[in-house]
């Protein structure tokens, strides 16, 4: 079964830059002592919010409730005023004296409550009756006449009812107002009102307490994954690179946990690769050095003559060592962004076609068949790329295919367009790559079989350089391989490059 693997700029990004800080653990700030836990802070916030919300609701309900009682009092006063006006009308119809009728009927109404004021006026606005003269506490200290009290200025505090004669004409009016909303409440009404306010306060208190309790448990539930992430971070800081949070989910905290675990996996892998890189570099450098040392010492001891043949052995190893160092320097510059990207509007068909043509003889000498397939509709396809770097990337893939393809095998290089991307594929009938080895394909000096690498003569950094070149072009590399059947590398390069990529 074939395996597919896509690697882009983010797959290995950050490995070299982060390596310099891994060896200095004392740069991490110490854990502060005595700080308030997140769960406690969240509980306090929930509690304060609940208390404030309950208080606001209690005040709003009290205001609304008081308004309802005021309306109830006003309706009662209006009913009493209408009844008083009707009584005065009946008495006036009998006696014909409005003053006498007003005194008898209004006095009866005034006796209902000491907190209501009753006034009777004739048609001209003259006060015929005003019960405030008989109440204690007048400002002038006298028991005065009928004009001793002024009605309230607010219209909602005053009710009035007309006094009608038998012919329907208005001969006067009754006006009433009360001191406070309890003036006309019965004991039952007053008790209900008091109990209502008590119930509002009690409900607000219970709601606040419940909200605090729920907030406490919710904060503990929310803080638990954060505490796990913090604990895992401490473990990693202390050197346990295998620690993981195990936090998952679709929400922000779940995504944070998954991202943290991915980061920890990347760090663990990079550190392992760094350790492996040290051994690989030592091996790659030691091999040519030991060969040169053995040859030179043999010539010094007279075992081998110092002729051109044996000097050429030394020269071959020197050139191999030089190529290895140059490749490592080039890879380092690409990773650090110090290699300038010189993008040009390039005909990719011409570039790849001429490149394949230049490699025909070399492949023929190796007993391999090389061909180019142009899958573009018009025989030309332009892209903003650095032509020299793209040539190097394609050559690296072709060289890799040539090394791992047996004699009489074939290598096909094809070019096509997919929307706004250029796709360059290098397909071979070589030995293939195991599925589990594909993710390591672009690691420097990596090889699944050490002896295979030695026979092939590869430096072990060509694919790593190719990856960095495609990264600089904001592209990706797709690897499709089946062990024993062959491998296909596909470069996906955007036709238009962002300005910031060109300026790196």
The gap from C-alpha 259 to its chain's centroid, in whole angstroms, comes to 12
Neighbours of 504 (CB within 10 A): 11
What's the confidence (pLDDT) of residue 146? 40
Please, what's the b/e burial string for 212-234 (b: 16 or more CB within 10 A of its CB; e: otherwise)?
beebbeebbeebebbebbeebee
CATH of domain 244-339: 1.10.287.130
The answer to whether 412 and 369 are in contact (CB under 8 A) is no
The answer to whether 370 and 410 are in contact (CB under 8 A) is yes
What's the confidence (pLDDT) of residue 280? 67
What's the confidence (pLDDT) of residue 28? 47
Structure tokens at 128: 């015929």
What's the confidence (pLDDT) of residue 91? 86
What's the confidence (pLDDT) of residue 424? 97
The answer to whether 504 and 432 are in contact (CB under 8 A) is no
Rounded Cα distance between 336 and 7, Å, is 19
Structure tokens at 161: 């009812």
| Rg from Cα positions in the chain | 48
Rounded Cα distance between 203 and 199, Å, is 6
Burial-class residue 455 by CB neighbours within 10 Å (0-12, 13-18, 19+).
exposed
DSSP-derived letter for residue 33 is S
The answer to whether 380 and 423 are in contact (CB under 8 A) is no
The answer to whether 267 and 241 are in contact (CB under 8 A) is yes
What's the confidence (pLDDT) of residue 306? 84
Task: Give the containing element (helix H, strand E) for 103.
Answer: helix 98-110
Structure tokens at 71: 């309306």
pLDDT tens for residues 358-417? 999 999 999 999 999 999 988 889 999 999 999 999 999 999 899 889 999 999 999 999
In 85-223 the beta strands, taken as DSSP E runs, fall at: 116-122, 127-130, 158-164, 170-178
Task: Give the residues across from 488 on adjacent strands.
Answer: 427, 480
What's the confidence (pLDDT) of residue 26? 44
Regarding pTM above 0.95, the answer is no
Residues 6+ apart with CB under 8 A from 430: 401, 404, 405, 406, 409, 486, 487
The answer to whether 334 and 463 are in contact (CB under 8 A) is no
Q: Please state the domain extents for the chain.
A: 36-240, 244-339, 340-502
Structure tokens at 310: 């044996």
Rounded Cα distance between 388 and 478, Å, is 21
Please list the alpha-helical segments (H only) found in 167-251.
Answer: 187-237
Identical topology for domains 244-339 and 340-502: no
CATH 3.30.565.10 applies to domain 340-502: yes
Q: Is 161 helix (H, G, I), strand (E, B) or coil?
A: strand
DSSP-derived letter for residue 498 is -
What's the confidence (pLDDT) of residue 24? 37
Per-residue pLDDT of the chain (504 residues; tens, 9 = 90+): 555 656 554 444 444 444 333 433 444 455 555 566 777 777 788 788 888 888 888 888 888 877 777 777 788 888 888 988 898 898 888 888 888 888 878 888 877 777 778 889 988 888 888 877 555 443 343 333 344 455 655 445 688 999 888 888 888 999 888 766 565 666 777 787 788 888 888 888 888 888 888 888 888 888 888 889 989 999 988 888 889 998 888 888 889 999 999 999 888 887 876 777 677 677 677 777 888 888 888 888 888 888 888 888 888 888 878 877 777 777 777 777 777 888 999 999 999 999 999 999 999 999 999 999 999 988 889 999 999 999 999 999 999 899 889 999 999 999 999 989 999 999 999 999 888 888 878 876 666 553 344 345 555 788 888 998 999 899 999 999 988 899 999 999 999 875 444 444
């Amino acid at each position: 079964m074939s395996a597919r693997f896509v690697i882009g700029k983010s797959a290995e990004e950050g490995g070299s830059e982060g390596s310099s800080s891994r060896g200095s653990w004392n740069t991490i700030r110490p854990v502060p002592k005595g700080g308030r836990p997140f769960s406690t802070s969240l509980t306090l916030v929930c509690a304060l919010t609940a208390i404030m919300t309950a208080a606001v609701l209690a005040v709003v309900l009290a205001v609304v409730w008081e308004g309802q009682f005021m309306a109830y009092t006003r309706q009662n006063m209006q009913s009493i005023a209408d009844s008083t006006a009707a009584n005065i009308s009946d008495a006036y119809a009998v006696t014909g004296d409005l003053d006498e009728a007003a005194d008898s009927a209004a006095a009866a109404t005034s006796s209902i409550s000491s907190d209501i004021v009753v006034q009777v006026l004739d048609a001209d606005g003259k006060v015929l009756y005003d019960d405030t003269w008989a109440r204690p506490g007048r400002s002038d200290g006298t028991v005065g006449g009928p004009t001793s009290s002024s009605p309230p200025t607010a219209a909602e505090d005053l009710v009035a009812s007309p006094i009608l004669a038998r012919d329907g004409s208005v001969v006067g009016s009754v006006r009433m107002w009360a001191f406070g909303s309890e003036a006309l409440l019965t004991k039952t009404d007053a008790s209900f009102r008091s109990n209502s306010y008590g119930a509002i306060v009690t409900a607000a208190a219970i709601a606040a307490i419940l909200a605090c309790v729920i907030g406490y448990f919710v904060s503990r539930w929310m803080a638990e994954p954060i505490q796990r992430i913090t604990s895992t971070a401490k473990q990693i800081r202390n050197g346990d690179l295998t620690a993981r949070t195990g936090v998952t989910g679709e929400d922000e905290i779940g995504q944070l946990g998954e991202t943290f675990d991915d980061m920890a996996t990347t760090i663990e892998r990079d550190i392992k690769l760094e350790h492996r890189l040290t051994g690989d570099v030592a091996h790659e450098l030691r091999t040519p050095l030991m060969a040169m040392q053995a040859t030179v010492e043999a010539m010094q001891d007279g075992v081998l003559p110092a002729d051109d043949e044996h000097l050429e052995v030394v020269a071959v190893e020197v050139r191999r060592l030089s190529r290895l160092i140059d490749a490592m320097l080039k890879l380092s510059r690409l990773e650090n962004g110090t290699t300038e990207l010189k993008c040009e509007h390039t005909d990719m068909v011409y570039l790849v076609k001429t490149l394949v043509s230049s490699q025909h003889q070399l492949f023929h000498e190796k007993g391999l068949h090389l061909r180019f397939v142009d899958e573009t509709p018009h025989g030309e396809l332009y892209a903003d790329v650095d032509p020299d770097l793209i040539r190097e990337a394609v050559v690296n893939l072709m060289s890799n295919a040539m090394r791992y393809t047996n004699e009489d095998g074939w290598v096909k290089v094809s070019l096509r367009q997919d929307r706004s991307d250029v796709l360059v594929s290098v397909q071979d009938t070589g030995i293939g790559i195991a599925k589990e080895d594909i993710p390591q394909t672009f690691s420097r000096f990596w090889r699944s079989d050490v002896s295979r690498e030695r026979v092939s003569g590869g430096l072990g950094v060509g694919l790593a350089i190719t990856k960095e070149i495609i990264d600089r072009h904001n592209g990706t590399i797709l690897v499709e391989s089946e062990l024993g059947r062959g491998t296909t590398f596909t470069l996906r390069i955007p036709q238009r490059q962002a300005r910031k990529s060109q300026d790196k």
